[in-house]
């Protein structure tokens, strides 16, 4: 990464960090773009160079995260069972969200506007996982079974998140995720990709 790219990434992270702190302290609705820009020591125009609005600050992923999970996918052993790979990738991706996910969850709980918003990063991960699994299998039947495994893994992940109680810490969420993936994996054992 060259100097210009590093500066852009640092600005993105400064704006995001300032916004998330303000959202957590004073609430999403009460925080203005002007306050975010001031806290990040940038202009309002600079804020909009990086984010389309306040909602984007919450849902846009760090620009490097997608390349990290793609590297994680590329590092999996091609002979490893697909379910084992999906489980390891989903746990690792979620572990990488340790700092951000609890805050995002609190913000969504407190803000009706955010609770109804969609999260494009989940769509990006799903797309990358779908592309990756199709490179791991041969034939239509194998592709169907692999896609079924992906859908089961994502459903297990969603179930863990939905059952994560507000009084539980992030490690409790990761334990729920592991349990859900293990339980779904027991059914996957009968599939033959």
Mean pLDDT of the chain: 89
Q: What is the mean pLDDT of residues 25-41?
A: 95
Q: Please check the confidence at residue 170 and state whether its pLDDT lies above 80.
A: yes
The size of the chain, in residues, is: 193
Question: What is the predicted pLDDT for the residue at 118?
Answer: 52
Q: What is the largest CA-CA distance in the chain?
A: 57
pTM over 0.85, yes/no: no
Q: How does residue 171 score in pLDDT terms, banded at 50, 70 and 90?
A: very high
Residues 6+ apart with CB under 8 A from 142: 193
CB 93 within 8 A of CB 69: yes
Question: What is the predicted pLDDT for the residue at 101?
Answer: 87
Task: Kindly provide the b/e burial profile for residues 6-40, where b requires at least 16 CB atoms within 10 angstroms of the residue's own CB.
Answer: eeeeebbebbbebbbebbeeeebeebebeebbebb
Question: What is the predicted pLDDT for the residue at 95?
Answer: 93
Query: Which one has a higher pLDDT value, 137 or 93?
Result: 93
CB 75 within 8 A of CB 37: no
Backbone angles phi, psi at 165, to 5 degrees: -75, 150
Percentage of residues in the chain with pLDDT exceeding 70? Answer: 94
Q: Please check the confidence at residue 10 and state whether its pLDDT lies above 90.
A: yes
Q: What is the pLDDT of residues 101-126, one digit of tens each?
A: 898 888 888 887 777 665 555 678 88
Query: Which domains, ranges and CATH numbers included, belong to the chain?
Result: 3-59 (1.10.10.60), 65-186 (1.10.357.10)
Q: How many CA atoms lie within 13 A of 50 on its CB side?
A: 30
Question: What is the predicted pLDDT for the residue at 193?
Answer: 46
User: 104-108, 157-161, 172-176: which range is least confident on average?
Assistant: 104-108
């Amino acid at each position: 990464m060259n100097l210009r790219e590093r500066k852009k990434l640092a600005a993105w992270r400064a704006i995001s960090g300032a916004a998330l702190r303000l959202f957590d302290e004073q609430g999403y609705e009460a925080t203005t773009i002007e306050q975010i820009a001031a806290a990040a020591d940038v202009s309002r125009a600079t804020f909009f160079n990086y984010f389309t609005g306040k909602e984007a600050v919450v849902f846009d992923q760090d620009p490097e995260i997608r390349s990290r999970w793609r590297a994680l996918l590329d590092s999996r052993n091609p002979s490893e069972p697909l379910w084992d790979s999906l489980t390891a990738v989903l746990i690792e991706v979620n572990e990488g969200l340790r700092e951000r996910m609890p805050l995002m969850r609190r913000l969504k709980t407190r803000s009706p506007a955010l609770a109804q918003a969609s999260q494009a990063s989940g769509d990006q991960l799903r797309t990358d996982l779908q592309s990756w699994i199709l490179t791991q299998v041969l034939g239509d039947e194998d592709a169907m079974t692999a896609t079924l495994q992906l859908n089961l893994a994502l459903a297990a992940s969603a179930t863990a998140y939905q059952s994560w109680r507000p009084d539980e810490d992030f490690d409790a969420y990761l334990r729920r995720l592991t349990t859900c993936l293990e339980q779904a994996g027991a059914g996957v054992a009968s599939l033959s990709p």
